[in-house]
Amino acid sequence: MKKQIIKINIIILLFMIGLSGCIEKNVNGIGKIQYNDFEGGFYGIVGDDGEYYDPINLQSEFKEDGLQVKYTLKILENQTSVHMWGTIVKIIKIEKL
């Protein structure tokens, strides 16, 4: 009986771990585009929440240092970047303010 309960708990735990990778983590906010002149130079977003975001798909029309933007970003878990600056994100929606 104890072995069955342990097996069931392990199955439930594995199922929950599997589901956690399926949950999208999005961030909505307002911030500024910031040009960083290290690692070859790149643009990031500094949110009003104090977080740094490293977008993989920032369009050229938004590559302006100090530009105020409103955004929806998808957090990309388990990804690395040569920039080593901020959380890597994919832009879902962005607009100039």
CATH assignment of the domain containing 63 = 2.40.50.500
Judge whether 74 lies within some domain: yes
Whether 13 has a pLDDT exceeding 80, the answer reads no
Range of the domain at 53: 24-96
Judge whether 37 lies within some domain: yes
DSSP symbol at 51? -
The pLDDT value recorded for residue 82 is: 84
Judge whether 12 lies within some domain: no
For residue 44, how far is the Cα from the chain centroid? Answer: 12
Judge whether 16 lies within some domain: no
More confident site: 43 or 7: 43
Judge whether 14 lies within some domain: no
Contacts of 45 (CB under 8 A, 6+ apart): 31, 32, 33, 34, 52, 53, 55, 58, 69, 71, 73, 86, 89
Rounded distance, CA 55 to CA 16, Å? 29
| Total domains, the chain | 1
Enter the pTM of the model.
0.74
